[in-house]
Structure 1
């Protein structure tokens, strides 16, 4: 397994965990935003999604394909993951720099990040179908993102759940390609 997969699968959820803790610290005064914890936490979240995009690119490279439809599915999953990651990056950027207009309707700001989970779930699902990854891995990862979507205050817990889901990638236990 390549180093970028292991590093990104470990570092991205840990940076999200750091963001969740910084978000909690930022809210201790009863107000969230425009402070050191806010800026540092959002920067960590931004870097986390850069790493998630790196992870998606490298997963795309290791997904085995035997048929044209599998290649199209893999390629579409990568596009979805990258568009979703870019949406997360844009939302985070506009949180860090509120003077920058989002330029996107609210529905797009909410809906586009979902593409990241769809793309990642598909890439990981293809690895499950190829018996290179345990079936629970993508399900646990998605559950972590669902927790965060339900309530941002669950971000630290959801990040740990995502880390658990990506553990087979972070530990380098992605199974080799079989016959």
Structure 2
């Protein structure tokens, strides 16, 4: 896999793991927020989602397409992943800067981040269909994000699960050629 894919597939989950650890450190006094651990952890989470967006863009470049519907699916998946990543970034930004209101209704705060997972699942699924990725990889990544949805305190464990799901991308030396526009 190209370097941006390998790097983002490794660094993004590791930054999420760091964020999860910082959440525990920040919460040791019984209160989360308004402290150095909170700020450092949220900054790491923000950078993680920038890298997840980089990962999505680069996966989009290497997903092989033969038929028009595959190209459309690939493009829609990228759009969903980027909108979802932007939602994660916005929520994290408003957590860091509490004076900035989210401006999003609760349904959007829940629904938009799900687009990231659907987009990534689709892009990874297309790589599975092309036999460039094992079938367990996207399923493991989605399971990790589902753990976070169940309980944010599971974030350190979920990050390791996501890392394991993306590990074939992080360790693959075989490099498919980017196809199409």
Moved over 6 A (4+): none
2:163 maps to which residue? 163
Give 1:110 deviation, angstroms. Answer: 1.1
Instruction: Supply the distance in 2 between the matched residues of 1:52 and 1:109 (Cα, whole angstroms).
Output: 18
Taking structure 1 as the reference length, what is the TM-score of the superposition? Answer: 0.97
SS at match of 1:134: coil
Alignment size in residue pairs: 177
What 5-or-longer segments of structure 1 have no aligned partner?
none
* Contact 1:18/1:41, CA 8 A, preserved across alignment: yes
* Contact 1:147/1:158, CA 8 A, preserved across alignment: yes
* Contact 1:148/1:155, CA 8 A, preserved across alignment: yes
Instruction: Supply the distance in 2 between the matched residues of 1:21 and 1:148 (Cα, whole angstroms).
Output: 14
What 5-or-longer segments of structure 2 have no aligned partner?
none
* Contact 1:5/1:59, CA 8 A, preserved across alignment: yes
Deviations for 1:153-179, whole angstroms, at most 9, x for unmatched residues?
A: 0000000000000000011255747xx
C-alpha RMSD over aligned residues: 1.0
Taking structure 2 as the reference length, what is the TM-score of the superposition? Answer: 0.96
Instruction: Supply the distance in 2 between the matched residues of 1:9 and 1:172 (Cα, whole angstroms).
Output: 11
Instruction: Supply the distance in 1 between the matched residues of 2:77 and 2:121 (Cα, whole angstroms).
Output: 8
Give 1:103 deviation, angstroms. Answer: 1.1
1:44 maps to which residue? 44
> Which runs of structure 2 are paired with 1:74-93 in the superposition (5 Å)?
74-93=74-93
Deviations for 1:12-66, whole angstroms, at most 9, x for unmatched residues?
A: 0000000000001000000000100000000000000000000000000000000
Instruction: Supply the distance in 2 between the matched residues of 1:106 and 1:72 (Cα, whole angstroms).
Output: 30
Instruction: Supply the distance in 2 between the matched residues of 1:123 and 1:131 (Cα, whole angstroms).
Output: 13
